[in-house]
Structure 1
Amino acid sequence: MTLHTSLTVAVGLLGLLNLLLMVGVIRRLGAHTAKLTELQHRVNRGAGLRAGGRIDRFEASAVDGTAVSSDSLAEGTVVAFFKPGCGPCKETQPEFVEYARTSPLGRDGVLAVVVGTGDEVREMVAALSPVTRVVVEPLDGPVAAAFSLEGFPTFARIGADRKVSAIGHDAGVLAPEADTALV
């Protein structure tokens, strides 16, 4: 009888310990879920900058040697951020190249920023350079910082007074009717 009682108490204590551990795991999962949700919201915005926000001042140099700055971005200018090795960047790059090639804004009304260094950027720069100005910079470069870049690809249309009229991951931002909408 004492063996039976001892085993029942041991199984009860083991069940209680299991219950306490499960409560801890569930709490921990809730904390991680909140962090992941917040991160997903940041990534889905496309950038830290939202439509209506003003881009910070910056100065950079395009691969063809021309100066590019926040003051040189006229109203309607489209800025796209790409990163080598980014699957969605590779998927949207041809659409962006076609947009830049046929844009009524001309080559100066479209800016592509390739984030990376060395040989990894060569292929993207070669595809983009004939149709747009291209800036190559590291992730913490001046253009990426001016847009508070947080994800790739990111497309932005500049409105009046260095304000962003549309911004997001989707190339739909390239259409003028996307202005004032967060895509």
Structure 2
Amino acid sequence: MLDTSGMPLGPDLPEPGRAVPAFDATTTSGDRITQADLDGPDVVVLFLMESCASCVSLITGLRERPVHEGPLPIAVLVSDGPERDRLVGELEPVARVINQPDGERLAADFGVHGFPAVLLVGAGVIRSASHRLSAVPREVPA
């Protein structure tokens, strides 16, 4: 299976077509996000880890370039370290940020075992998976 960038998917990313798992999370701004929020139009879901240099670079890229014309991305930040507040602050203007103690479990439930992970999710399924933000189409698929 290939991601949209043409790179082979490894066991650390979910296969396209995988159903979105049941979940219930709260963003750093207090909004609730559940599986039902991913049943509609395509949305980008990012899984990021504080200790991952590529994740920090991806956050910078996200701030410089909107992901696509769909809903605001969801960023799951797996972090409780010293850079947590700074990273949340960088993400909040460009994404709905989830930073909960069970972030690693949420990532595993989605089939994410490597970071960063950039998923395009719509109609309740994972449409594509990559480690690169550039793999996400800029326009919402018809």
TM beyond 0.5:
yes
Alpha-carbon distance in structure 1 between the residues aligned to 2:103 and 2:90: 23
User: Which one-letter code corresponds to 1:94 in the other structure?
Assistant: T
Give the number of the structure with larger relative contact order, counting CA–CA contacts within 8 Å between residues 6 or more apart: 2
Indicate the residue corresponding to 1:76 in structure 2. 42
**With structure 2 as the length reference, what TM-score do the two structures score?**
0.79
Alpha-carbon distance in structure 1 between the residues aligned to 2:30 and 2:105: 16
Indicate the residue corresponding to 1:175 in structure 2. 137
SS in 1 for 2:16: coil
Which protein has the bigger strand share? 2
The alignment covers a number of residue pairs equal to: 132
1:146 aligns to 2:109 (yes or no): yes
Q: Identical aligned pairs, as a percentage? A: 25
Indicate the residue corresponding to 1:86 in structure 2. 52
Alpha-carbon distance in structure 1 between the residues aligned to 2:29 and 2:96: 8
Which protein has the bigger helix share? 1
Indicate the residue corresponding to 1:34 in structure 2. none
The gaps in structure 2 that reach 5 residues or longer are 1-7
**With structure 1 as the length reference, what TM-score do the two structures score?**
0.63
Aligned alpha-carbon RMSD (Å): 2.4
Q: Is the 8 A contact 2:50 2:81 kept in 1?
A: no
The gaps in structure 1 that reach 5 residues or longer are 1-40
